[in-house]
Structure 1
Amino acid sequence: MPISILPHLADIDAATWDALVPDAQPFLRHAFLRSLEDSASVTPRTGWAPAHQVLTDTQGQVRAAMPAYVKTHSFGEYVFDHGWADACDRAGIDYYPKLLCAVPFSPVSGARLLGDAQAAGELIDGVSDALLEQGLSGLHVNFTDPASDEVLRGRAGWMERLGCQFHWRNQGYRDFQDFLDSLSSRKRKQMRKEREQVAGQGIEFQWYHGHELSEAQWDFVYACYANTYAVRRRAPYLTRAFFSLLAERMPASIRVVMAHQGGRAVAMAFSLVGGDSLYGRYWGCLAEFDRLHFETCFYQGMDVAIAEGLQRFDAGAQGEHKLIRGFEPVITRSWHYLLHPGLKAAVQDFLAQERVGVLGYAEEARTALPFRQV
């Protein structure tokens, strides 16, 4: 069956694409991915050239697809292969361009190979076979779900890489106090004190759905988001237009909490809801306040997850400080197919060693969780 390469997600009907997405995660939806392109957040100019792969049958019906980008750098991926690229540079091997199957700037696990397993397998084989002809060094599939893992596991040439994130689980808590009651006394007192410190600074919080925010409020959201990059002397990945487009196209999925002091907005956290999960994505503040980050990014998210009956809160990549706040270690997976035999052998050896370290780290991390021993 033929494979088409789409340079714009607009080249495929939204209903056709979304029909392939197996779950309610918002990041794979046509509206989300297209908003990245339409807002010029994802373009060849920024090193993200859309090259979505679509498999069709002889009747022209779409059987499988994958969101894909030709990359000329490794920023915004959160599966860090900069060391591989540096080694290639020293050895005179071209690592870029490479083909990446992922959701840009979003380290969230989910479906990547869209369609039934047989069609997805045919698609990934066809894309892999065409890499050399297209001048690409390899294919990388980041933050996969179990269905994509099944397609890739055991397939010739593919290497699995493990990572570790921290997610919070709602164990049917009635409210935040019910969650606190599940913790050891010392950790419970620490979290209560952190919340009291924020409230003592006169800071109050208000939650909004996507349709409730004005353009002026979106200006503030973007100013906070961009400031998190400015303090590190970096340009933000997303443009201002992305937020307005997403609010127009996916308002029901958006949750924004704003922190106010004396009636003036001082910080925000932007999240998306899909299925039974809350996904904390971006945060920022325009002034410094003690403990405000923990309250805005974590405790407020727990509050809204409990209130909306959501079972999981994914607050983003990394962050060992999440452990003592009840976020449990979760293993993530990505898959890598490299054409250069020497590079492949070196990476395979590295991944075998890294795997032992990641699994050991996740196991050790569980000892730092704050829950009472039953």
Structure 2
Amino acid sequence: MGEPVEITLLSGFSEISAKEWDACACPEAATGRAVDPFTTYRFLLALERSGSVGADSGWVSRPLVAHRAGQMIAAAPLYVKQHSQGEYIFDHGWADAYERAGGRYYPKLQCAVPFTPVTGRRLLTLPGHEAEGRAALLEAIRKITEESGLSSAHITFCTKDESDAAARMGFLPRVTQQYHWHNRGYATFDEFLATLTSRKRKALRRERAQAQGFGGTIHALTGDQITPAHWDAFWAFYQDTGARKWGHPYLTRAFFDALHDMRDDVLLVLAKRGDTPVAGALNLIGRETLFGRYWGCLEDHPHLHFELCYHQAIDWAIAHGLSRVEAGAQGEHKLARGYLPVAIHSAHWLRDPAFQRAVAGYLENERAAVGAEITALTRYGPYHHTPEAET
């Protein structure tokens, strides 16, 4: 019988080394870019050190790690949550129902990347330890929830394999949807447009022409092309969007300073009038995917949001051989621009058995509805030939 797996719940990412964490989170980064920049040690630590997560934000870092014979074999980005903000897999209705029935929904346990609606591994395992590491983390998450008297545990934006593994251990699988663009070997943006129906193709050409004629210039910047002054400009954009959408931006100014140290993994698309940035879109670059994250502007121009966030992202992905663009949460308007619906997976465990049964019934119906919607939206998408729905 081998050495037992030892589970430790840490008080923050500073209690572990980047080498140990990244060996589980992104072992492929030893030979190039990480597949998922959001679960890297430096990204998660930046959220913590910048004050974007912490007691004041309602996200308390409690990284979970598993060791065998002194070697870390698995880890999970775990947080104690005092609310359901910044998650994008919405459970506000569950919270309301549970509390109306006399329960206490918060605090709860969240396995996620804060403020980041991007699918990726959440149960991070050292290569060769996938099965045992994943099982150890899932068992620990459920046990911590039970012993701490928390209402529930939620693993959000995980992979389908992780959701399936969690379901085998009593978690409830949930399916929601996003819109992603897939590169089917296009050499140019025009080649991509050629796959659309004539009406959609003409509409997008008009849209791009109008956006690009806003009276300034558009610049796609990465690496050392990005300067501290660009972050000053983007901070103004971010605050404006946050104030209009949810009232209080999640990220602090210090986080963007930390992001400057990761600028090789950043694509910043700026619209400038003369030397003054007036709008911008922030993307992070993975090994295979461009991840659209934030947008903001100080001037309103027709279709400029679509140009900077969606069309420029496709242009850049084609030019750099990336396989897809993930453009963030929600947004059926993305469908007309070539972004198709895909299934997004999460897993949930509720400590109260009666509540678990009630939510299980709801999720069964929701999964069927989401699956039907993905099929229908894909069928009525902008392409000549309907691609296969992504599940």
* TM-score scaled by length of structure 2: 0.92
1:218-257 aligned within 5 A: 218-232=231-245, 234-248=247-261, 250-257=262-269
Aligned match of 1:15: 19
Residue 89 of structure 1 pairs with residue 99 of structure 2: yes
Shift of 1:373: 3.6
- How far apart, in 1, do the equivalents of 2:13 and 2:371 lie? 37
What do the CA deviations read for 1:318-355 (whole angstroms, capped 9, x no partner)?
Answer: 11011111111110100001111121111011101111
Shift of 1:123: 2.1
Indicate the percent of aligned positions where both proteins have the same amino acid: 43
Partner letter of residue 34 of structure 1? Answer: L
1:46-125 aligned within 5 A: 46-57=57-68, 59-115=69-125, 116-125=130-139
- How far apart, in 1, do the equivalents of 2:258 and 2:385 lie? 47
Shift of 1:264: 2.3
- Give unmatched runs, 5+ long, in structure 1: none
- How far apart, in 1, do the equivalents of 2:245 and 2:184 lie? 37
Shift of 1:204: 1.7
Partner letter of residue 21 of structure 1? Answer: A
Shift of 1:150: 4.0
Residue 43 of structure 1 pairs with residue 54 of structure 2: yes
Aligned match of 1:128: 142
Seen in structure 2, the aligned counterparts of structure 1 residues 102 and 233 have a Cα distance that, compared at 3 Å, is closer
Instruction: Report SS of the residue matched to 1:143.
Output: strand
Residue 277 of structure 1 pairs with residue 281 of structure 2: no
Seen in structure 2, the aligned counterparts of structure 1 residues 151 and 373 have a Cα distance that, compared at 3 Å, is closer
Cα RMSD, aligned residues only? 1.4
- How far apart, in 1, do the equivalents of 2:140 and 2:46 lie? 28
Q: Is the 8 A contact 2:226 2:263 kept in 1?
A: no
- How far apart, in 1, do the equivalents of 2:268 and 2:368 lie? 38
- How far apart, in 1, do the equivalents of 2:104 and 2:305 lie? 41
Instruction: Report SS of the residue matched to 2:52.
Output: coil
1:1-374 aligned within 5 A: 1-22=5-26, 24-57=35-68, 59-115=69-125, 116-155=130-169, 157-232=170-245, 234-248=247-261, 250-373=262-385
Q: Is the 8 A contact 2:36 2:286 kept in 1?
A: yes
Partner letter of residue 121 of structure 2? Answer: A
Partner letter of residue 48 of structure 1? Answer: W
- How far apart, in 2, do the equivalents of 1:308 and 1:79 lie? 31
* TM-score scaled by length of structure 1: 0.96
Aligned match of 2:32: none
- How far apart, in 2, do the equivalents of 1:81 and 1:373 lie? 36
| Comparing 140-149 and 265-274, the one that deviates more | 140-149
Q: Is the 8 A contact 2:160 2:345 kept in 1?
A: no
Partner letter of residue 10 of structure 1? Answer: S
